[in-house]
Structure 1
Amino acid sequence: MIRFIPVAELNDPLTLSIGLSGGSGTGKTYTALLMARGIAETMTGRKGAPIGYVDTENRRALHYKAAFPEMCHFDFKAVDEAGNLVGFGPERWIEVIDAAEAAGLPVLILDSFSHAWEGVGGVLDLHATTLERLTGGDGSLADKRSQLAWAEVKPRYRRLIDRIVRAKTNIIICTRAKPVMQSGFGNKAKNARKTKTRREDVPWDPASDGDLMFEMTTMVILDPSAPGCPVHQIKVADQFKTLLDPRRPMGVDTGRAMAEWAKGQGDAQRQKEILDAARAQARTGTDAMRTWWKENPDKAAVARSILSELQDLAAAADRDTAAVADDPFANLADDDGMTPEQRAELEAAESAFRSSHTETA
């Protein structure tokens, strides 16, 4: 039976899914553990609450054993106890999440989840194996049958992503990131090739599928220049923007604040309302934005987290106001969707048509 429940009756905490990506030396593991501690303690209400840790990196997390005695470690290998190669296929990850929920763990770290994508038995490996079977080893058929191979593999991976999204425990996912080839230098550097998941201003590509990145509650890419800092914020809801300062490492307090929001006890909604109000003010122009900023110092402190966005909105509003002041009918006159070159070409053709008819008459 389908039942729509009034939200006032829904008091269970939400769950968080946080993505941390970065190259070697960016502090993914330590940052994940710190944030997990804040989440676990806030969700359970007690110090030393357990942190589940799925380790694919040859037990690398145990380097922090002394600092995090509450860690519950699982050594996730590509081989089983008998030494047989079993790989990192999607179904094994689903089993791990099931086990974490059954154990009642308040938070689970998956490090490194890149193995699910590019490891032995991961999605890319499964695609290559499937393509080999579909082509019978005939390389000339690879392009034609690649999509058929993806059609077999991608649903398995999609079920894993759905399992992460629907998890009843909080999840922090660590993935590797690789440098992106760029054109230009310094502040003018841009990524040489854009994709649907790659921003021009982020010189790193997570070793994972784009579906994963955008299913996260929060997704950031760490940079070697500032370990632990959310330098590249790929997906951050307004509720968390004031928590994530690109110049300040994330830690226990970050996880605690996110968990408080998930429990409905944080101040995140009020902060979102302030950001929306600031955006509305910025859309009226720079002068109005300056006035609002000076008259609302407390709100301005929150709005500073989206300062560059507000500056862009105000500048766009100024340009629109200037254009209307110069010629209030300019937009109406040019509303045929044609470029100036196309319009000139059309006018020339019409003029030639009129001339030819005049000569004929």
Structure 2
Amino acid sequence: MGMIRFIPVTQINDPLTLSIGLSGGSGTGKTYSALLMARGIAEVVTGRSGAPIGYVDTENRRALHYKQAFPEMMHFDFQAVDDNGKVVGFGPERWIEVIDAAEDAGLPVVILDSFSHAWEGVGGVLDLHATTLDRLTRGDDSKKDQRSQLAWAEVKPKYRRLIDRIVRAKTNIIICTRAKPVMQDFKTGKNARKTKTRRADVPWDPAADGDLMFEMTTMVILDPVAPGCPVHQIKVADQFKGLLDARRPMGVDTGRAMAEWAKGQGDAQKQKEILDRARTEARKGTESFRTFWNSDEGKEHRELLRTILEDCQKLAQDADTAAATNDDDPFGLPPIQNDGMTAEQRAELEAAEREFEGRRDEA
């Protein structure tokens, strides 16, 4: 226990590292956006323009289409076969080696494109699971449902070690993943099934592990209707809402601003305080939020506040509804949920409990 030491944050001055997730289908601008952002990050980290950008390319050297525009690119052709033509795949251990090499090379930022190969490529997690399941069942398809979780228990720790390596990387990482369209319910206009994003309004499903995106510093899904624009913001903290405007493509300035935040500079904290204040006023109702919106502070930060306007409108409407509720009739009040879960989370928990009970009965 003598090795444990708590350090005052005022004494911690080393910069944070960024892990940025960009997902999207073909033609959404993932590669170009990643290179632009990486350029901005590299400039801030090194203090000079033209700083090297690491690029791990699994897409048949597709990044070299941009080599004239980005002469600072340090390219690695990441293939499923070795120099002797032997299939080695895209297993988690190989990706860890790539990140180790990027750090050893002193690269200020590295782009992994496409990281979907780690999930669904040759030797990726899904392939490893299928291979492991075949070994556990010895080809008996009737046992696959029973042994599937055992196979995942063997494969998932390898993948989790890779995710942990990404989170703890000493270099900045931009992860590009493919995304596939989700079947839509034409009656509701929403997704016909749940997706890894766990949001009904995002019509794209990243070809990656559902947990990966929530480990990122920030995670967005690009849409072909607006290439390079962070249209679907899956995980965007308040510090970045002013930087990631769904109406504007991400670029060098985006990467530069995020890197400044990581160094403890810039005005990200002030922006977060303004957004928090806006939400506080919205929780008081429509009139309170409208007053704040039209105040001198609201007018000064109008563009920033637009990034959460839809959320604030809903908060204000909910507050108005709650204020109009007749407290004199306890049976007219909505039921109180004491567990703090949303309806969707509660449904998932109940489904998991039913599945557990079913397996226990089978045992």
TM above 0.5, one fold?
yes
The partner residue of 2:105 within 78, 103, 106 is: 103
1:243 and 1:337 mapped to 2: Cα distance? 37
Cα shift at 1:335: 7.5
What is the CA distance between 1:199 and its match in structure 2?
Answer: 1.1
Task: Tell me if 1:143 matches 2:145.
Answer: yes
| Cα shift at 1:299 | 3.2
1:328 and 2:327 matched: yes
- 2:63 aligned residue: 61
Residue 347 of structure 2 corresponds to: none
Equivalent residues in 2 for 1:208-357, closer than 5 Å: 208-295=208-295, 296=297, 297-323=299-325, 327-331=326-330, 334=333
1:293 is displaced (CA, Å) by 1.0
1:124-203 correspondence runs (5 A): 124-184=126-186, 188-195=188-195, 197-203=197-203
Deviation at 1:336, TM superposition (A): 7.4
Instruction: Kindly state the Cα deviation for residue 337 of structure 1 after the two structures are TM-superposed.
Output: 6.6
Alignment root-mean-square deviation, CA:
1.4
Offset from partner CA, 1:265-313 (integer Å, 9 cap, x none): 1110000000000000000011111111111211333211100000000
Q: Which AA in structure 2 matches 1:13? A: P
Q: Note the C-alpha offset of 1:331.
A: 3.9
Structure 1: stretches of 5+ with no match in the other structure: 339-361
Match of residue 117 from structure 1: 119
1:100 Cα deviation after fit: 0.3
Query: Could you list the runs of 4 or more consecutive aligned residues of structure 1 that deviate by over 6 angstroms after TM superposition?
Result: 335-338
Provide the C-alpha distance between the structure 2 equivalents of 1:314 and 1:232, rounded to a whole number of angstroms: 23
Whether 2:2 is the aligned partner of 1:3: answer: no
Cα 1:245–1:333 change in 2 (3 A) is closer
Question: Does the CA contact (< 8 Å) of 1:118 and 1:207 recur in 2?
Answer: yes
Offset, 1:195? 4.3
Match for 1:67: what amino acid? A
Unmatched 5+ stretches in structure 2? 338-363
Amino acid at match of 1:268: A
| CA deviations over 1:180-229 (Å, ceiling 9, x no partner) | 011016xx411011246331000000000011110000100000110000
Counterpart pick for 1:49 among 51, 56, 76:
51
CA contact (8 A) 2:177 2:208 kept: yes
Cα pair 2:197 2:234 within 8 Å, conserved: no
Greater radius of gyration (CA): 1
TM-score (norm 2): 0.89
Task: Give per-residue Cα distances to partners, 1:147-167, cap 9 Å, x unaligned.
Answer: 000000000000000000000
CA distance in 2 between counterparts of 1:331 and 1:320 reads 13
Aligned residues: 333
Structure 1 residues 83 and 212: alpha-carbon distance in aligned structure 2, compared to 1, 3 A threshold: same
The one-letter code matched in structure 2 to 1:286 is: T
CA shift for structure 1 position 322: 1.1
Letter in 2 for 1:292: F
One-letter amino acid of the structure 2 residue matched with residue 57 of structure 1: E
Identity fraction in percent: 77
**Counterpart amino acid of residue 290 in structure 2:** R
* Alpha-carbon distance in 2 for matches of 1:301, 1:22: 26
Contact 2:285 2:320 in 1 (8 A): yes
Superposition deviation, residue 26 in structure 1: 0.4
Look up the SS of the partner of 1:205 in the other structure: strand
Structure 2: how far apart are the matches of 1:64 and 1:336? Answer: 57
| Amino acid of the structure 1 residue aligned with 2:156 | K
CA distance in 2, matches of 1:211, 1:19: 12
Q: State the alpha-carbon separation in 1 of the partners of residues 128 and 151 from structure 2.
A: 9
Using the TM superposition, give the Cα deviation of residue 62 of structure 1 relative to its aligned residue in structure 2, in angstroms: 0.3
- SS for the counterpart of 1:21 is strand
Does structure 2 retain, via aligned residues, the 8 Å contact 1:97–1:167?
yes
| 2:294 alignment partner, SS class | helix
Q: In the alignment, residue 70 of structure 2 is paired with which amino acid?
A: F
Q: Distance in 1 between matches of 2:312 and 2:279?
A: 6
SS at match of 2:307: helix
Please say if residues 239 and 269 of structure 2, whose CA atoms lie closer than 8 Å, have aligned partners that are also in contact: yes
Deviation track 1:84-121 (CA, whole Å, cap 9, x = no partner) reads: 10000000000000000011000000000000000000
Matched residue type, 2:141: G
CA distance in 2, matches of 1:195, 1:80: 35
- In the other structure, the counterpart of 1:22 is 24
Indicate if the aligned counterparts of 1:198 and 1:205 stay in contact, CA closer than 8 A: no
Match of 2:327, SS state, is: coil
Alignment check: 8 A CA contact 1:53 1:74 kept: yes
Partner of 1:345: none
Structure 1 Cα separation of the partners of residues 221 and 336 of structure 2: 39
Q: What's 1:13 paired with?
A: 15
